[in-house]
A and B are shown apart, each in its own frame.
Chain A
Amino acid sequence: MFDSRELSHKVAIVGAAETDTVGVLPNHSVLQLHAESAFNALRDAGLTLDDVDGLATAGVSPAALTEYLGIMPRWLDGTAVGGGSFLMHVGHAVAAIAAGYADVVLVTHGESGRSRVGAAGPGRTDSTPGGQFDAPFGTFGPPTMFSVPIAAHMARYGTTEEHLAAVSVATRQWATMNPRAMMRDPITIDDVLASRLIAWPLRLLNCCLVTDGGGALVLVSEARARDFPKPPVWVLGRGEAVQHTNISQMWDFTEWTAASRITGPEAFRMADLDHSAIDHLMLYDAFSHTPIYAMEALGFVKEGDGGPWFAEMRSAPGGVLPVNTNGGGLSYTHTGMYGMFAIQEAVRQLRGEAAAQVDGVQTSLVHAPGGMFSATATLILGNQ
């Protein structure tokens, strides 16, 4: 049997960049956003497209992107389970590079989530399980589906609307320090509670932005990781799992079972670290409750303590454990599959080049869902 621990600290991110701007980009197609991200990340690493021999992406097929970029990769990964797919790509790339399947892996994200330029439309779904058993009752996008479990969490643990609001408030505090963030004005708990209802218990300020943008990563092996312009950001641990597709079929509405059983423990085991070694967190915040579930599932707090933990502003600037320091999906940007931006901010923090830089970050844990709590992916990154 192979042991994932042998692959810890063996592959590094040596190039990382987002599109020139993020937000509202009506003059960029989806593929253009992928390409701009790729060029920027490769430039960051001092490489070109001709150096790439491995390609991973989601949202568009690796084949479509290969043609657009004019490359012929010898390893590809099209795992597409939603916003956390890019975290999975990084984990897969570690194995692929260690196996010699590829030497330079490019992972790209581009999404015209707001402007819908060059984006494919939805296909027929009325005979799928979701189409038969969920859609007829008026599911209408993530705000009406990702939100379904919250009432059960509130009933079991006493999580409140104020707790949910606190996540938005703390995250906005980080965004005020990030000039690239779409929403930069400070907000209060009362502001969140006064914003209009979308799907109780979620209000407008509990919901992520809808934007255009992209990001890309370049990964190489330990053997050459120190030969690039920027210091390497090591992949120390990874975990991935999927538990359902339709929110009605989530195993337990009060916990993120696949994250607590699989992706958290696997990532920590591979990295050979415990929670006290983590300096910085990126917890994909499609909605205010997502980081609460993630904190509990990953074991940073006990089940049910996530809401109070955020309400004490422990994740905010000056708090004990900085979370979502770019301003998150709630205030920075959210193209639809935000996971790439969570990784990008972890890399910036580990390089010491973040807009709201936290002192002394040596390890960052990134966690993201895919779909409606369906998938979960965890990465532990480090700069030592």
Chain B
Amino acid sequence: MTTPARPLPAPTPETREYWDGLKRHELRLQRCRACSRAYFYPRPFCPYPGCHSQDVEWFTASGRGNLASYVIVHRGHPAFGTPYVLAVVEMTEGGRMMTNLSGIDDPTPEALPVGAEMEIDFEDVNDALTLPSWRLVKG
């Protein structure tokens, strides 16, 4: 038996710009022109309750955010070395994304305070795909 490979995304029409942006090491997000909030993941309308405008635009985001929550995985996907961090980052402009953390070899709860400032990294997986990862901003 071979080890199962890391699951990789298959972009869809409404997410293509995001994935193409990552290849250029740019974080392309969408924001709503009606309520001016950014959101994630990509879709052609604003998903926030009370708005739901279809008037949205792509922009290049700052790649800054805060650690919203996380787990330190000890029994996880066989393609990943344990322990690894499954984290959710709340992006400064709006929207939350799941990610892994870079720059952390031995993750501990003490080293990962919820709310910590984060910045994006780009992990080139292959010629066709770059995934985001995020790192703690060194204070």
Contact = CB atoms under 8 A, between A and B. Distances in A.
Contacts of B138: none
A127 B40 CA distance: 16
Contacts of B59: none
B96 interface: yes
A249 interface: yes
Interface residues of A, number: 37
Given A149-B69, A202-B71, A135 B7 contact: yes
A315 interface: no
Interface in A200-247: 200-202, 246-247
A139 B9 CA distance: 13
B114 A139 contact: no
B9 A136 contact: yes
A138 B10 contact: no
Contacts of B88: 148, 247-248, 253
B98 A140 contact: no
B97 interface: yes
A143 B97 contact: no
Contacts of A278: none
B9 A126 contact: yes
A155 interface: yes
Contacts of B41: 129, 132-133, 249
A150 B9 contact: no
Contacts of A134: 98
A152 interface: yes
Interface string B45-76: 00000000000000000000000111111111
A4 interface: no
Nearest to B107: A200
Contact of B97 (A133, A138, A150, A200): A133
A143 B71 CA distance: 9
A273 interface: no
A150 B79 contact: no
B126 to A, nearest CB: 12
A198 interface: yes
B21 interface: no
B11 A132 contact: yes
Contacts of B84: 138
Contacts of A2: none
Q: Which of B8, B12, B68 has the most CB of A within 10 A?
A: B68
Given A151-B109, A152-B69, A139 B98 contact: yes
Interface of B: 6-12, 15, 40-41, 68-77, 79-80, 83-84, 86, 88, 96-100, 109, 112-115, 131
